[in-house]
Structure 1
Amino acid sequence: MPTRNHRLDRAKGVLIFTVVLGHLLARASPWESDLLRAPMYLIYSFHMPAFIFLAGITAKSGRLAQRILVFLVLLATVLPLMWVWMRLFGLSPDYTFLTPFWYSWFLLSMAWWTLTVPVIERFPRAVLAISLVTGLVGAAVPTVDSELSVVRTLVFWPFFVVGKLYGARMLRWAGGLDVGRRISLAVAAVTVTGILYLDEFDNDWFYGKERFAHVDVGVPEGVGIRLVLDVAALLMTLALLAWVGDRNSPLATIGRHSLSVYVLHGFVVRALQPVLDGSIAAYGSLTVLGICVVLSVVSTWLLAWEPLDRALRRYASTVADLLLSPFRSLRPAAGVGADSTRTRGGAPT
């Protein structure tokens, strides 16, 4: 019987914590503070590419329609609830039907990426090459933008494909490194991110949602910047996998229940937004950082409660099954409508 990969779960646990922390810090306008910019650069330089890489490792082509619909059901549930939720706190939910709001883009992109899994399995090398190209030049396509999360889907697709094809081997490789190599990998990863921080690199690039034209760069420069960011994200991802450990723990449990944390943390963050807005001026950057870390730990722990995660998954799966049920009823029963003669090797016998 295969055993659970606790290294993967623990990595997810770390990453979902960084998602919550990054979104809480973002409510306090951290990019204007030298102190808060450091953790923001560290988080946003790799946390979503790493999450997408790990999603690729566990992606399967079985029950494809149901898997895709689960993400779409969650998306269709989150958007109206978030609209109402933000209104309750006096916030303006500025989004349209075609543009996923804030963190919900990941749910739509996961549906897109999951749709490509059978093609990745059938044509691995070709899809890998295509994904690497689209990851670099996807933001140059003039006809797409934030609508339907197209740019982000293209930009981050290589991490999903690499995770699907090579993720398990890379996970084992990172886990087998000795201490010296793990230290070297971590130093290299932090150095690249540190250079971006010292250079005051435009943080809009980390989101991967804008076309090159929107950030006022040409295609050659945009491709070069995208390549540097991809390398930085890959180094940080490998460093995380090398250091995260491979034993069952509360962190691994959080990783296994990361879906509920991801889907629900946005409601916590938006509820705290009126408090965090302007908090740097009132309390100072260091205090705000400490508060956000504590809030992130508590929120992540509570939202990773197993019954909550199980209920969310059951809800999405049940709705997806209900939506698919009419199509399943159209399938012919075994042997009904089939040719009276059996075929062998494609030829009737």
Structure 2
Amino acid sequence: MFHAPNAIQRAPLPSANQESEPGRRGTSTDVAAPPARVTSAAPVANRPADGSPAKRREAYFDNVKYLAIVLVAVAHSWEPVMDGSRTARALYMVAYTFHMPAFIIISGYFSRSFDMSAAKVKRLVTGVAVPYVVFETAYSLFRSLAGDSDDWSVSLLDPWFLTWFLVALFVWRLTTPIWQALRHPLPVALVIAMLASFSPSIGDDLDLQRVLQFLPFFVLGLRLRPEHFRLVHRREVRLLAVPLFAGAVALAYWAAPRMQLGWFYRSSSAQELDAPWWSGAVMTLVMFCAALLLTVGFLAWVPRRRMWFTALGAGTICGYLLHGFLIKGAGYAGVFDVYDWLAEPVGLVLVSVVAAVAVTLMCTPPVRRALRAVTEPDMSWAFRRNSARR
């Protein structure tokens, strides 16, 4: 599954000036999101709209994005059935500790050259803002049609379920020039996250609690370089990742009945979790360190060579945005209530397999092509002519 050490030279990582942004064709994109906003769905052979040379996709990052989106979908599928299983809750906590931070770090890494130029602003609007408006509207109407809400209004200021990540990515990308200009951006981002963790007055608009509390991972991604990913793939790191995850699962099993899941979502302040205000700052640092360690372990296990799922990494934005309809739809249909055996070990395995297969199918090229009009629309009519070249 892993390369030998000399494979690093055979499969170099992108150069420092390579950028991957949502909607840019012919490049490796960031999320997943999605993940974190994750990918462009266009084939590599296409040239970007701004006329710059197309860049070869890096298999490693496509592998990271695909495996991360599978973790996201599987973890979401556990939510309705894990209450009766301490083991499932522990695994859920481990997955939630690092799967979104990993997405966000990769998003930051591929946002390093964002500079507010006309071409990049256009790609930000078409690749992040437009999908947010479309899917926030779709999820709001879906919830009302399913009878979960009597309110048919659509609020673009209150992201629901999955769409918060697109809002966050939009804000983080816009602030990228600021973080690139600061001498010590990561400590500043950590301080902001700590302040947000005990500031309940921030409110729910644009899910700013999550935007601010996850900010350090995006800033960390901006500071990474290709050599950091080569260090992660050292043999000793891969070996240490095994006891690291074993210890994390054991610790999560102990903490499962004692710890609130709200700390993992980062959508609430400490006071809203009925904790002392100062615990927000402490938990911000603890969760950041834990997420960083598990993300390193995860990245160390991801293969660098092309795999059967590598091509699916280009479609993870589709998997991220679509799998919520499956999870929520099953909940609205009462599937988890009628078949209560899904909370048993066999049921949990079945739910996990179904979620993994479903999100895999959602990342395939036919789905990407079908959704291209909303995940990476051209929208040349909305922008001044030749703005990309300027």
TM bracket (short chain): 0.7 to 0.9
* Residue 174 of structure 1 pairs with residue 237 of structure 2: no
Q: 1:66 to 1:105 in 2, by over 3 A?
A: same
| 8 Å Cα contact 2:172/2:218 also seen in 1 | yes
Which blocks of at least 5 consecutive residues in structure 2 are unaligned? Answer: 1-53
- Greater fraction of residues in helix: 1
Deviation at 1:284, TM superposition (A): 4.1
Which blocks of at least 5 consecutive residues in structure 1 are unaligned? Answer: 335-349
Q: Which residue of 2 aligns with 1:303?
A: 362
What amino acid does structure 2 have at the position aligned with 1:40? Y
Deviation at 1:151, TM superposition (A): 0.9
Alpha-carbon separation, structure 1, partners of 2:179 and 2:342: 50
Deviation at 1:289, TM superposition (A): 1.0
Pick the aligned partner of 1:13 from 66, 87, 104: 66
Q: 1:193 to 1:318 in 2, by over 3 A?
A: same
Deviation digits for residues 182-233 of structure 1 (CA, Å, limit 9, x no counterpart)? 2223323442453233123211110000012101223322211121111111
Alpha-carbon separation, structure 2, partners of 1:146 and 1:31: 26
Q: Which residue of 2 aligns with 1:199?
A: 255
Matches within 5 A, 1:111-260: 111-123=170-182, 125-166=183-224, 168-175=226-233, 177-178=234-235, 180-192=236-248, 194-200=250-256, 201-260=259-318
* Residue 288 of structure 1 pairs with residue 347 of structure 2: yes
* Residue 45 of structure 1 pairs with residue 97 of structure 2: yes
Alpha-carbon separation, structure 2, partners of 1:256 and 1:329: 28
Deviation at 1:32, TM superposition (A): 4.0
Deviation at 1:78, TM superposition (A): 0.8
Q: 1:329 to 1:257 in 2, by over 3 A?
A: closer
Alpha-carbon separation, structure 1, partners of 2:215 and 2:86: 31
Alpha-carbon separation, structure 1, partners of 2:276 and 2:334: 40
Deviation digits for residues 238-278 of structure 1 (CA, Å, limit 9, x no counterpart)? 11111111011232222221111111111122222224432
What amino acid does structure 2 have at the position aligned with 1:21? V
Q: 1:32 to 1:283 in 2, by over 3 A?
A: closer
Alpha-carbon separation, structure 1, partners of 2:264 and 2:121: 31
Deviation at 1:154, TM superposition (A): 0.7
Q: Which residue of 1 aligns with 2:120?
A: 64
How many residue pairs get matched?
A: 326
Alpha-carbon separation, structure 2, partners of 1:280 and 1:46: 30
TM-score by length of 1: 0.84
- Relative contact order (C-alpha < 8 Å, sep 6+): which is higher? 1
Deviation digits for residues 61-112 of structure 1 (CA, Å, limit 9, x no counterpart)? 1533223312121111012212232344333387844210011100110101
Alpha-carbon separation, structure 1, partners of 2:283 and 2:241: 21
Q: 1:311 to 1:113 in 2, by over 3 A?
A: farther
Pick the aligned partner of 1:98 from 150, 157, 172: 157
Q: Which residue of 1 aligns with 2:329?
A: 271
Deviation at 1:314, TM superposition (A): 4.5
Q: 1:269 to 1:241 in 2, by over 3 A?
A: same
What amino acid does structure 2 have at the position aligned with 1:14? L
Secondary structure at the aligned position of 2:356 is classed as helix
Alpha-carbon separation, structure 2, partners of 1:198 and 1:233: 18
Q: Which residue of 1 aligns with 2:36?
A: none
Q: 1:160 to 1:132 in 2, by over 3 A?
A: same
Alpha-carbon separation, structure 2, partners of 1:283 and 1:19: 19
- RMSD over aligned CA atoms reads 2.6
Q: Which residue of 2 aligns with 1:347?
A: none
TM-score by length of 2: 0.76
- Rg larger for: 1
Q: 1:212 to 1:27 in 2, by over 3 A?
A: same
Deviation at 1:320, TM superposition (A): 5.0
